[in-house]
Structure 1
């Protein structure tokens, strides 16, 4: 991989996304942060503010999102914009990396789960670092399989929990080191 030809897509929020961005910067990887007007970011380099027209392109039914993630999402403007922003991230990046918690039903906890479900729908290479188990998993043959992934495409997504722990932080650092060298 040629690092200066690679681009990380995220939404620059505190926790996993902020750490993905810091790792990209450290390794000389380009970064694009998708956001919307009024969204509070922890990382604000190379921000692309999505306008109303762009956000609508990522529009989904809250009922569909609730059904796919096995939880209830209520119709609020902010949560809709967050899900629309996640659509743009996954639509832009070919490979998807997420730090979070894989639940018993195979979904990933929280809003991060939407990035995972979109990656499955878009047939993107998908990898989740499960913080409680301190292990990377790759979605293959409709199930989670233990893995030690590398960044293998020029465009990729870094998303995940706001509640990043030391194991999650180390997993992101090691992912970049494996992919681009120290």
Structure 2
């Protein structure tokens, strides 16, 4: 697959998403950043500002989200917009790459965990680089399996922690190199 035939979707937050965007630009991958009115992302290349109507298409019960992810949200209205944007990212990108941490219950830590849940629900190929374990994992048949992925679909999501460390950055760099080097 050629990088110019691929498209990356993310929301432009600092950390993993901004770095995925930098690598997309470096490799010549098209990039689109989702946001909402009034939110200025850290990386805003090919910005898509979602309308209130579009955001509502990605809406879900916070009670359901809390149950699926085994956590409670102290300020559900604040996270709601983030979850709505994540819906649009995963809906557009077929393959999902996340840099963060897989928790003991199998969920991915933070708001990024919703991208993982949606990828599972939408039956998307899902890969997580766990910064603590310093390894890639792929969701297969209901569990995490150690596996080094490549970008193998023309549309993909790059998301993850705002606290990207050197190992996470290296994992993203190597993902692009592995996927697009001749």
* Superposition TM-score, scaled by structure 2 size: 0.98
Question: Displacement, 1:40?
Answer: 3.0
Q: Report runs of 4+ in structure 1 exceeding 4 Å deviation.
A: none
Matched, 1:180 2:171: no
Partner of 1:11: 11
Partner Cα separation in structure 2 for residue 75 and residue 132 of structure 1: 27
CA contact (8 A) 1:63 1:73 kept: no
SS in 2 for 1:71: coil
Q: Could you give the per-residue CA deviations for residues 65-103 of structure 1, whole angstroms, max 9, x where no partner exists? A: 111111102454331111000000000000000000000
Corresponding residue of 2:110: 110
Q: List gaps (5 residues or longer) in structure 2.
A: none
- Check the 8 A contact 1:151/1:175 in 2, yes or no: yes
Aligned residues: 182
Tell me which residue corresponds to 2:138. 138
Distance in 1 (CA, whole Å) between partners of 2:31 and 2:56 is 23
2:42 equivalent in structure 1: 42
Kept in 2, the 8 Å contact 1:8–1:155? The answer is yes
Q: Say if 2:108 is the partner of 1:98.
A: no
Residue 67 (structure 1) aligned with residue 47 (structure 2): no
Q: Contact 1:129–1:168 at 8 Å: present in 2 too?
A: yes
User: The residue matched to 1:168 in structure 2 has which SS?
Assistant: helix
Give TM-score scaled by structure 1 length: 0.98
The separation in 1 between residues aligned to 2:137 and 2:120, in whole angstroms, is: 14
Residue 2 of structure 1 deviates from its aligned partner by 1.6
Measured on the aligned residues, the alpha-carbon RMSD in Å equals: 1.0
- SS of the residue corresponding to residue 149 of structure 2 reads coil
1:156 aligns with 2:123: no
Deviation at 1:22, TM superposition (A): 0.2
